Structure 1
């Protein structure tokens, strides 16, 4: 799956996951492994039996294989199943998990006084949106409450061309009144980052996040124009390290760190001003993170706010059923966070 932020199947899967909350180098496919391959031993309160059960039966008609990594103060477990026969630390396209990196850069600029949650797109990027559009703020872009319409008219091109084509048809909702998950929000954030810094998004991301954290396996391929919305490649350890540093405050000042868990006063809001999405498990536990799909991978990272348990997963999707894929993801999440409800 290429240029997947525009791909209908990806939008369907992402929307379904987001509504219930809750893809680099390809992993080679080969003969299926009959049972999950456990790479690291379990320790602490992590439930290895539940995790093995969540990965059982792969490959199937909907998921060819999977990689799961659970870490934190609660213990650790790493395993693979099905056609995921590469090392657990293989790189994969992370799709919309990229949004969380972009949101982090934007919040760093807020902390420096170079951006504000109340700055409008029209002020920052004059002429990008039609004159008839109501003012849309940075905070609304981050929390997916901008009202921007789904990008059914979007076409490949530069980030500006992606945005202008995406808003060329359809009618936006009133900003700040509804939650509508939309990758165009993050394209606009990427453009705003470039405007206020005078540097490319890739340069800002590298100097502000990737280099300081030593994320050697996280990069923005030049040929993936999903860009600030969904273009990054990473691996399990880099995603865990990034998420842990973000929530501990290693990337943001205290005021902006608080925004990671602050959602707007909009009915159904499940995205924070830090770009994190909340996901309530059947057990009642609420975890925070981000999902993404690109180039055949459906991936995500979720954590408890106290970092006692951190989950990174990536599935090799067949693209046949978003509902069945979502059911597998929910099973993995339930197993990964079992016992963390205390």
Structure 2
């Protein structure tokens, strides 16, 4: 019999609630390709006007042959930014944050005289602030892995970034960096007097019904059912091995990338957010608006867009070592995609064939 944290959908390639609007054979083939050299597990949820498809493939860990848990929790990475943006926009709707006001007014002790030009809250949301990246715990995998149980606070990350001075004048370029959302996390705490996690839970997770989503902070574990994450590492002789990277203190990623979630919860976030049930319509427009005067910009407040055929898809991807995730859909929710892929090289700049295969099948 299945263990308590599995379901019928943990069978590789199992789909439910099929519809003619979706290419079930292509979706099943995409998840049945796992495990392989690119991924050890894949969890997929696709929505269309006529129904949904849910499937999973791969294994829970490399120690045995147990199928991947379909209800597994995983590191959502930068999809955290969607929650952070929605939290700020809800505070704006309540009149507690002015999107046009300079962040220096909210966090005067953080900024140095080097930042003479005001940076609006909106410019943090859409990555046009000009603030440089903060320091981390390593420049490559080996160094970061050695420090995986160390704590680097978001406050220190922000201070290290501000000390470098601006990279460019606010509003003149779009440069996607975690630091913008680290500073937004500090802004949320300053305005509300509560922790980022408490406010994000109150304003976004709870209204979205995301009961299996949480912010681990300094806890390196993934609580509850989960599939192990692995990173491919090259040995001195040129061969490769997979290193277990499941346990990892990601406190420095905080409001930019520290959330743990499930595909079911991320689907709830996507559908309720886009249907104006979390952020009111006037503020929600910020999530579907790219910065003025920057025609090449593809990022908005928390989201980014991509043209696929004759469709425009809005969404967000996220990756931490061992875990890649994505949420996306058309604004009218006529097509949605949520997936978690246990990528063996999640932070690579190269495209992952498993992720590409799932995306192509979902958008057919």
**TM-score after normalising by structure 2:** 0.77
- 2:299 aligned residue: 271
CA distance in 2, matches of 1:170, 1:209: 32
C-alpha deviation, 1:98, in angstroms = 0.5
Does residue 101 of the first structure (1) align with residue 77 of the second (2)?
A: no
SS of the aligned residue for 2:215 comes to: coil
Change (3 A) 1:181 1:321: closer
- 2:233 aligned residue: none
Superposed CA deviations along residues 287-306 of structure 1, whole A, max 9, x for unmatched, are 11111112411001001111
Q: Choose between structure 1 and 2 for higher RCO, CA contacts under 8 A separated by at least 6 residues.
A: 1
**RMSD value over aligned CA atoms?**
2.3
Change (3 A) 1:91 1:305: same
In the TM superposition, 1:285-300 aligns within 5 A as 285-300=311-326
Structure of greater Rg: 2
- 1:173 aligned residue: 168
Superposed CA deviations along residues 152-194 of structure 1, whole A, max 9, x for unmatched, are x345532221111134347512211111110010011111111
Change (3 A) 1:256 1:44: farther
SS of the aligned residue for 1:94 comes to: strand
In the TM superposition, 1:248-287 aligns within 5 A as 248-265=275-292, 266-273=294-301, 275-281=302-308, 283-287=309-313
CA distance in 1, matches of 2:106, 2:346: 41
Instruction: Pick which of 169-178 and 42-51 moved more.
Output: 169-178
- Higher share of residues assigned helix: 1
CA distance in 2, matches of 1:321, 1:217: 25
Superposed CA deviations along residues 6-59 of structure 1, whole A, max 9, x for unmatched, are xxxxxxxxxxxxxxxxxxxxx99xxxx9x9421424224011122233335333
C-alpha deviation, 1:331, in angstroms = 3.0
Gaps of 5+ in 2: 61-66, 138-150, 219-249
1:159/1:187 contact within 8 Å kept: yes
CA distance in 2, matches of 1:141, 1:46: 37
SS of the aligned residue for 1:279 comes to: strand
Count of aligned pairs between the two proteins:
304
SS of the aligned residue for 2:21 comes to: coil
Gaps of 5+ in 1: 1-26
